[in-house]
Amino acid sequence: MNNRKGTIGILTGGGDVPGLNPAIRAVTFRALREGYNVIGIRRGWAGLVDLVRDPDADNSHCIQQLTEDQVNKAGRTGGTFLHSSRTRPSHLPQPSVPLHLRDQYTDEINDVTPEVLKNLEFLGIDTLIPIGGDDTLSYGQHLHQQGIKVIAIPKTMDNDVPCTDYCIGFSTCVTRTIELTHKLRTSAGSHERFLVIEVFGRYAGYTALLPAMAGAVDRCVIPECPIEIEHLAELLVSDRQNNPSNYSVVLIAEGATLRGQDEMSFEGHETDQFGHRKLGGIGDQVSAQLKELSPKFNNGRRINVVNQRLSYLVRCGEPDAIDSIVPMAFGNLALDLILQGDSGRLVCLRNGVYDNVPIDSIVGRKKVVDVQKYYDPARLRPKYDTFERQPLFVITSEG
């Protein structure tokens, strides 16, 4: 694996999104042509945890050599051919510790970062490029503090990584949400119902706000602003009455809450290694309550509901144009920084311009919708005050 310029490692962590394979392709093409060796690390941080430091060991489940032909074919597809996980090496539960390390790491929760550092040295990786959201990148920042050269690429369909206008996967998510919402309208209209659609969005409401801004729905509910359910019911009844086909539509981010609700809606109590419980169910709650409240605003007559959770339908399949172009640019930006000798950086889009910031900038921050600037809680709709000097997706890196 010796090379005149060195070896670059690349991994994808967290949820899959369209655009990951184009990013891997961009990094690999440019790196190979610049004279680097490129190693794909499989299953996110898990590949650097499970690796066996033995030249004769079969580590094909942890790493693979990347070639132009391989990444070129994969670059046209969705998901990540390197696979992904939510492994957090600094907080690894005992059952997730690989067999060859269990004699050394016996606590209920273990920090196996020392093994990750040794594995990076074993592989001869000079610079590591993690592609992920704030969870994946926060561990990349941790490795940077340990002396590893890291260049990070932001990915998440929620578009909530701080310091960047755009994260890989967001455009395809918005595109699919708009398309599927329009398709679901036929059922809602046929039966003259409310259409309640739940989409991803744990802390930030961009996945609901942008489709609403594009005219896909009548109302949207975001995590940043708890709602009064009676107010939503009244608005949707009014929207339905003003619609010639006698239906109305609301988009709800999965992290949204009702006023007076203590916490978000979860499917269970189990958490991942980053402490997150699986979200889901706010659409069901809202649908049930809208059905019960509707007679109050509809002359005593109940309105039924079409309730749909879009879930993985917006994150599967091939990337759209933007999620093919932006990953290409991000990958090349990463190589620019490596060639300049920089590290500890996050490539980004800021105010519509490609840029980079210190990776430390993302730690301890949340990028959420600026309600005062972009959302009208009284109308449960986006604000359209001004678009002058705004980036392509309107929302800036500051939120």
Provide CATH code, domain 7-168+318-362: 3.40.50.450
Q: How confident is the model at residue 1 (pLDDT cuts 50, 70, 90)?
A: very low
The DSSP code for 362 is G
Q: What ranges do the domains of the chain cover?
A: 7-168+318-362, 171-314+371-382
**pLDDT for the residue 154:** 97
Residue tagged 């962590």 (tokens): 13
Q: How confident is the model at residue 385 (pLDDT cuts 50, 70, 90)?
A: confident
Q: How confident is the model at residue 254 (pLDDT cuts 50, 70, 90)?
A: very high
Pairing type for strands 127-132 and 7-12 reads: parallel
- Cβ count near 20 (within 10 Å): 29
* pLDDT 10s digits, 41-87: 999 999 999 999 999 999 999 999 999 999 999 999 999 999 999 99
Distance between alpha carbon 23 and the CA centroid of its chain, in Å?
15
Q: How confident is the model at residue 197 (pLDDT cuts 50, 70, 90)?
A: very high
Supply the pTM of this predicted model.
0.93
**pLDDT for the residue 106:** 96
Q: Which amino acid is at 173?
A: C
* pLDDT 10s digits, 125-183: 999 999 999 999 999 999 999 999 999 999 999 999 999 999 999 999 999 999 999 99
* pLDDT 10s digits, 307-318: 999 999 999 999
Is residue 279 predicted with pLDDT exceeding 70? Answer: no
279 with 288: CB under 8 angstroms?
no
**pLDDT for the residue 275:** 64
Report the greatest alpha carbon distance in the chain.
78
CB-facing half-sphere around the CA of 70: CA atoms within 13 A: 14
The mean pLDDT value for 188-212 works out to 95
d(CA 290, CA 302): 9
At what angle are helices 322-339 and 20-33 packed, to 10 degrees? 40
7-168+318-362 and 171-314+371-382 share one CATH topology?
A: yes
Helices (H), 197-267: 206-213, 229-242
Catalytic residues: 158
Provide CATH code, domain 171-314+371-382: 3.40.50.460
The DSSP code for 89 is G
Q: Which amino acid is at 43?
A: R
The residues, any chain, with a CB within 8 Å of residue 263's CB and separated by 6 or more, are 257
* pLDDT 10s digits, 166-178: 999 999 999 999 9
**pLDDT for the residue 297:** 97
d(CA 381, CA 384): 9
d(CA 92, CA 89): 5
